[in-house]
Amino acid sequence: MNMNQQTSEHGRWNASNLDLERVFFKFSPEAEEQFKYYIQNLGELNQIRNFIISKSDFPKFESELEMCREEIEHGQRFVVLEPIEGLDYNEIQMYCWIISNLLGTPLVQDQSGTRLIHIYDRDKTKRIKDGVRYHQTHESGAIHTDNVNTPLPWQYLVVGCVFPAMIGGENIIVSALSVHDFLEKKAPDELAVLKENFWWEYRGISSELYQAPIISYTNNGEPMFRYLRTYLESAHLKAKQPLTDKQIHALDALDATLNMSEFQIKHRLKEGQILVAYDSQILHDRECFTDYPDSISVEEKRAGENGILRRSLERAWVKK
């Protein structure tokens, strides 16, 4: 990846002009050895969330990650870190945790205080429409950002693949800046509505509600998105303020744009790959998937059960 090359369009890309050479990043052999040496001397990795990570432990590894940060913040707004060879499932989880801590501070994502969320299908009978959080199902959702559960801003979404599904589970990735430009040109009235306040819920964190726009702007005038329609609709019902016809039309315009194939790229994360995105400027989704028959969770494998793993990912929300 050429980190010195900057996009003339400041992160605006589509399916036809995304520079894939800048998306995928492989750490150098020296950086990988530094990482492996560190985790091999940690001992038991079952409680990885308790490890405090220091940049001084990874000088080469951390300096190369800083090049990726430049791409995430000022380039195409996301990268996919390639696997480090030879890591087992515990060590891949540690890989995600170390990346998250070197980038900033991993935030709490639920009421139990979890900062690294394990993503897998808990129960095939449970559905998002019934109130189950998206990351606990095998369903496809809707194109969204993750920064919808709290009004406090944070920067990086980190998603690492511990083990892929038998079939499916592709990630859909969309440039928020390109979507904004399209709406500004084709649907300016609808864009204006998206800049107004909507109701949101702290789903999984508390029962409270808050208000915020779908689209706001940085001091430099770049658009930032906050969007997950099902959560927004649920919050409006709880607030007893149904969406207006004008709001529904604006949401439909946004969804129609997000689902245009010209704006989407798809990538099925491989075992050991980590997606790092600037959350407010990259929207994403996951296609539905199915696991191997009789597959087991990471927790079951760690407890001594035998079997192939379910689709298992680790997710962190990181504040710079």
Is residue 287's pLDDT more than 50?
yes
Q: What is the pLDDT of residue 140?
A: 76
- The residues spanned by each domain of the chain are 20-174+265-319, 178-258
Q: Inform me whether the pLDDT recorded for 285 exceeds 60.
A: yes
> Cα(188)–Cα(177) distance, rounded to whole angstroms?
15
Amino acid of residue 40:
Q
**DSSP per residue, the chain:** --TT---TTTT---TTT--GGGTEE---HHHHHHHHHHHHTT---TTGGGPPP-GGG-HHHHHHHHHHHHHHHHSSSEEEEPPPTT--HHHHHHHHHHHHHHHSEEPP-STT--SSEEE--S-TT--GGGT--GGGSSS---SB-STTS-SS---EEEEEEEE--SEE-PEEEEEHHHHHHHHHHH-HHHHHHHTSEEEEE-TTT-S-EEEEESEEE-TTS-EEE---HHHHHHHHHHTT-PPPHHHHHHHHHHHHHHT-GGGEEEE-PPTT-EEEEEGGGEEEEE--EEPPTT-B-HHHHHTT--SPBPPEEEEEEEE-
pLDDT band at 127 (very low <50, low <70, confident <90, very high): low
Tens-place pLDDT, residues 267-279: 999 999 999 999 9
Q: What is the sign, positive or negative, of the torsion defined by CA atoms of 67, 70, 73, 76?
A: negative
Q: Give the angle 15-137-113 at the CA atoms, nearest 5°.
A: 100
Look up the pTM and report it: 0.92
Question: Tokens representing 72?
Answer: 């995430």
Rounded to whole angstroms, the Cα distance separating 212 from 275 reads 26
The pair phi, psi for residue 229, each rounded to 5°, is: -60, -40
pLDDT for 41: 80
68 with 24: CB under 8 angstroms?
A: no
Say yes or no to pLDDT of 236 above 60.
Answer: yes
Q: Model confidence over 155-168: pLDDT tens digits?
A: 999 999 999 999 99
The pLDDT mean for the chain works out to 90
Average pLDDT over residues 47-59: 75
Which option is the CATH number for 20-174+265-319: 2.130.10.10, 1.20.1290.10, 3.60.130.10, 1.20.950.20? Answer: 3.60.130.10
List, for residues 253-262, the tens digit of each pLDDT value: 999 999 999 9
Total number of residues shown for the chain? 320
Please determine, for residue 128, whether its predicted confidence score (pLDDT) is greater than 80: no
Residue with tokens 């529904």: 248
Residue with tokens 């095939």: 124
The total of other beta-carbon atoms located within 10 Å of residue 150's CB is 19
Per-range mean pLDDT, top range of 5-14, 15-24, 44-53: 15-24
